[in-house]
């Protein structure tokens, strides 16, 4: 550390007297064992002493001869340092009396720090934006060692690590062309083509590669949508219960969040009478929303799929009402393709759907790669929003992700194994307490608890036992539901799952059902 004195040192008050300052003020900083040359150490120590006020306005520096002797340096070294500092404006030469600290530096330094006021001035604010204040109330989850069954972790199977290394080394080999600079703001064209092909075959998405914007994941896709589509005060409909980060993003966009109940077919469009809706300004609570956020393939966290008729009704309503639909198609990769309904995007004829997908679940979260499929007229503002937010996705990650995505079958098999393992273990050890309906393969399950238990209370008990479980009620905005736990399975090994089930059995034993 290039610091003359510890910042909290109180040894010596700043000297404003015009006598040479003692080298003791900064000599502590010189370290002959350090790799940094002594001349640079001396210069840094002097700068710090002046900037911090230990050498105040008008303070005279010792002569180069005296300082050289005191520090055991060549005099020429000290002269060079003084000349350097003079060139920088830290000190000035006074013919015949050596160097001193010029007055203008300390004059401006005289302004008192933090929250200071000068006579007659308004109080100095540390004011930030409205959005900044909203954001300050959020608390991004602190990093903790992963516990089963927390979501968002990735315990990478050894088979995948081997695949990853092979693909990464292919990507980095001389054979593959890699763009080391800033690439296409929308993402590499070849990757966008591959995504369009995959989505057409697997999800019935109909788009040209030009409608795809590479993102760093679903979270960025939704953030961009909020920025491009929502003005402060606009209504945004969300499913109840809902993914928490989606709520946070919409809140940070100053949207009015309107919860829409979920029934066994997902987002309930029962109240959406197209004709009536379109004629009234305020067809439902909160007025016509600017956008609707929905998870039709697998409602998060309840797991049901939205049937075709309801998809059609939702699209027709959106077309009539002029609302945008954000389709978060998370985890659709892990469902049985033959059993999947086509995406809303593929059924939409009015260009109202923004389709969001991610590689985080397909590969692993650290990859930070996802995509948005956009109506033609939204491509330009979304791309500009992405570009200003953080330019574009790393071309390295794009190259690696594109290769890795071919290994979908392996991922699907691993996730299915882990989920099946939890279901079997829970049946064996937690029967009567925990009921897990198979909900198609994926990265989590939602497990019912006895109806008189509190899922928040259970989650607290489990946390104390080293088991992470998300209580369903934490995701509910309005309409109460029977107690349940959302348990992430994909990111935890079978051994970890087995241990956690044992701990759950111990925690539940003796609890009145």
Query: Of residues 440-479, which lie at the interface with a copy of itself (CB under 8 A)?
Result: none
Kindly report whether the peptide bond that precedes residue 301 is cis, defined as omega within 30 degrees of 0.
yes
Question: What tokens appear for 391 in the block?
Answer: 């330019």
CB of 279 to a copy of itself, least distance (A): 5
Q: Which residues of 486-498 are buried (b: 16+ CB within 10 A; e: fewer)?
A: bbbbbbbeeebbe
CB closer to a copy of itself, 181 vs 480: 181
Q: What is the greatest pairwise CA distance in the chain?
A: 94
Strand, coil or helix: 403:
helix
CB closer to a copy of itself, 305 vs 422: 305
Please pick, from the candidates 18, 24, 36, 424, the single residue that binds a copy of itself as defined by CB under 8 A.
36
Strand, coil or helix: 133:
helix
Whether 381 and 410 have beta carbons less than 8 Å apart is answered as no
Please pick, from the candidates 90, 330, 404, 508, the single residue that binds a copy of itself as defined by CB under 8 A.
90
Q: Which stretch binds a copy of itself (CB under 8 A): 10-18, 334-342, 408-416, 427-435?
A: 334-342
The region that residue 2 occupies, defined by phi over 0 for left and psi between -120 and 50 for alpha, beta otherwise, is beta
CB closer to a copy of itself, 349 vs 452: 349
User: Measuring CA to CA, which residue among 403, 396, 384, 405 is closest to residue 186?
Assistant: 384
Give the DSSP H or E segment for 4: none
**Considering just the CA atoms, what is the radius of gyration of the chain in Å?**
31
Question: What tokens appear for 379 in the block?
Answer: 């491509």
Please pick, from the candidates 23, 38, 44, 469, the single residue that binds a copy of itself as defined by CB under 8 A.
44
Please pick, from the candidates 20, 56, 62, 217, the single residue that binds a copy of itself as defined by CB under 8 A.
217
CB closer to a copy of itself, 383 vs 489: 383
Chain residues 337-396 in contact with a copy of itself, contact rule CB under 8 A? 337-339, 341-342, 346-347, 349-351, 364-368, 377-378, 380-385, 387-396
**93 binding a copy of itself? (CB under 8 A):** no
Chain residues 258-277 in contact with a copy of itself, contact rule CB under 8 A? 274-275
Chain residues 48-77 in contact with a copy of itself, contact rule CB under 8 A? 48, 51
CB of 437 to a copy of itself, least distance (A): 17
CB closer to a copy of itself, 60 vs 310: 310
CB closer to a copy of itself, 363 vs 422: 363
Rounded CA-CA distance 179/392 in Å is: 12
Chain residues 400-439 in contact with a copy of itself, contact rule CB under 8 A? none
Rounded CA-CA distance 235/222 in Å is: 15
Torsion of CA 280, 282, 283, 284, to 10 degrees: 180
CB closer to a copy of itself, 60 vs 352: 352
Rounded CA-CA distance 143/27 in Å is: 41
CB of 230 to a copy of itself, least distance (A): 5
CB closer to a copy of itself, 58 vs 450: 58
Please pick, from the candidates 60, 147, 153, 412, the single residue that binds a copy of itself as defined by CB under 8 A.
153
Chain residues 160-189 in contact with a copy of itself, contact rule CB under 8 A? 164-165, 168-169, 172-173, 178-185
Chain residues 111-130 in contact with a copy of itself, contact rule CB under 8 A? 111-114, 116-122, 124-130
**Count of Cβ atoms closer than 10 Å to residue 194 Cβ:** 17
Chain residues 481-500 in contact with a copy of itself, contact rule CB under 8 A? 491
Give the DSSP H or E segment for 262: strand 256-263
Sign of the alpha-carbon torsion through 261, 265, 270, 274: positive
């Amino acid at each position: 550390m290039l610091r003359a004195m510890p910042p909290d040192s109180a040894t010596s008050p700043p000297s404003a007297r015009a006598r040479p300052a003692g080298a003791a003020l900064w000599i502590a900083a010189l370290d002959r064992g350090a790799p940094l040359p002594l001349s640079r150490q001396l210069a840094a120590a002097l700068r710090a002493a002046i900037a911090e006020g230990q050498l105040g306005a008008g303070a005279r520096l010792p002569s180069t001869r005296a300082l050289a002797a005191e520090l055991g340096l060549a005099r020429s070294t000290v002269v060079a340092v003084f000349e350097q500092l003079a060139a920088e404006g830290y000190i000035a030469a006074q013919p015949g009396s050596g160097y001193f600290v010029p007055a203008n530096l300390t004059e401006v330094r005289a302004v008192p720090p933090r929250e200071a006021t000068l006579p007659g001035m308004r109080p100095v604010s540390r004011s930030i934006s409205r959005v900044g204040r909203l954001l300050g109330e959020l608390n991004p989850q602190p990093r903790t060692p992963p516990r089963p069954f927390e979501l968002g972790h990735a315990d990478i199977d050894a088979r995948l690590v081997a695949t990853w290394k092979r693909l990464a080394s292919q990507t980095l080999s001389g054979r593959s062309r890699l763009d080391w600079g800033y690439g296409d703001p929308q993402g590499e064209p070849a990757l966008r083509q591959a995504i369009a092909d995959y989505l057409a075959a697997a999800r019935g998405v109909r788009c040209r590669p030009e409608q795809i914007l590479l993102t760093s994941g679903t979270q960025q896709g939704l953030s961009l949508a909020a920025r491009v589509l929502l003005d402060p005060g606009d209504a945004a409909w969300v499913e109840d219960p809902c993914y928490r980060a989606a709520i946070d993003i919409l809140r940070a966009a100053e949207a009015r969040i309107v919860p829409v109940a979920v029934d066994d077919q997902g987002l309930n469009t029962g109240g959406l009478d197209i004709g009536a809706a379109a004629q009234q300004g305020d067809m439902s609570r909160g007025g016509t929303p600017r956008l609707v956020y929905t998870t039709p393939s697998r409602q998060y966290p309840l797991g049901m799929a939205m049937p075709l008729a309801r998809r059609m009704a939702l699209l027709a309503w959106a077309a009539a009402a002029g609302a945008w639909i954000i389709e978060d198609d998370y985890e659709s990769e892990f469902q049985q393709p033959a059993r999947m309904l086509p995406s809303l995007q593929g059924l939409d004829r009015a260009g109202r759907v923004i389709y969001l997908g991610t590689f985080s679940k397909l590969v692993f979260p650290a990859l930070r790669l996802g995509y948005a499929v956009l109506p033609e007229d939204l491509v330009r503002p979304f791309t500009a929003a992405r570009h200003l937010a953080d330019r574009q996705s790393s071309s390295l990650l794009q190259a690696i992700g594109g290769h890795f995505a071919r290994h979908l079958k392996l991922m699907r098999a691993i996730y299915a194994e882990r989920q099946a393992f939890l279901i079997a273990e829970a049946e064996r050890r937690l029967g009567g307490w925990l009921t897990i309906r198979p909900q198609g393969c994926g990265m989590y399950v939602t497990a019912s608890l006895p109806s008189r238990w509190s899922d928040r209370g259970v989650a607290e008990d489990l946390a104390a036992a080293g088991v992470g479980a998300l209580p369903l009620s934490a995701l509910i905005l309005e309409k109460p539901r029977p107690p349940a736990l959302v348990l992430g399975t994909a990111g935890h090994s079978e051994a970890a799952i087995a241990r956690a089930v044992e701990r759950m059995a111990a925690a539940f034993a003796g609890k009145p059902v």
